[in-house]
Amino acid sequence: SFENDKNKTFKGITLTLEDDDITDWVFPNSMPFNLEPVMTQNWMRERFGFPMIYGEPKTMGSYSRGISEVYPLLPPNQNIAVLFVYDADLFVVSVTFYSMAHAEAIQAASERNRLMNK
Q: 81-91 pLDDT, tens per residue?
A: 899 999 888 98
Which helix (H) or strand (E) is 110 found in, with range?
helix 100-116
Residue 19 has what pLDDT? 60
- Residue 42 belongs to what domain range? 12-116
Whether 78 and 100 have beta carbons less than 8 Å apart is answered as yes
* Cis amide leading into 76 (omega within 30): yes
Instruction: Tell me, yes or no, whether 7 lies in a domain.
Output: no
Residue 20 placed within a domain: yes
Which range, 12-26, 38-52, 73-87, 93-107, is most confident? 38-52
Domain count, the chain: 1
- 102 occurs within a structural domain: yes
Q: Does the residue 29 lie in any domain?
A: yes
pLDDT of 17: 67
Q: Say if CB 112 and CB 27 are below 8 A apart.
A: no
Q: Is residue 87 part of a domain?
A: yes
Is residue 59 one of the residues assigned to a domain?
yes
3/53: higher pLDDT: 53
Lowest-confidence segment of 21-25, 62-66, 94-98, 104-108 by average pLDDT = 21-25
Strand, helix or coil at 43?
helix
Q: List the strands of the sheet with 80-86, edge to edge.
A: 12-16, 92-99, 80-86, 68-72, 53-55
Residue 6 within any structural domain of the chain: no
Average pLDDT on 1-12 reads 63
Residue 12: name the closest of 93, 81, 73 by CA: 81
Longest dimension (CA), the chain: 44
The reply to whether 3 falls in a domain is: no
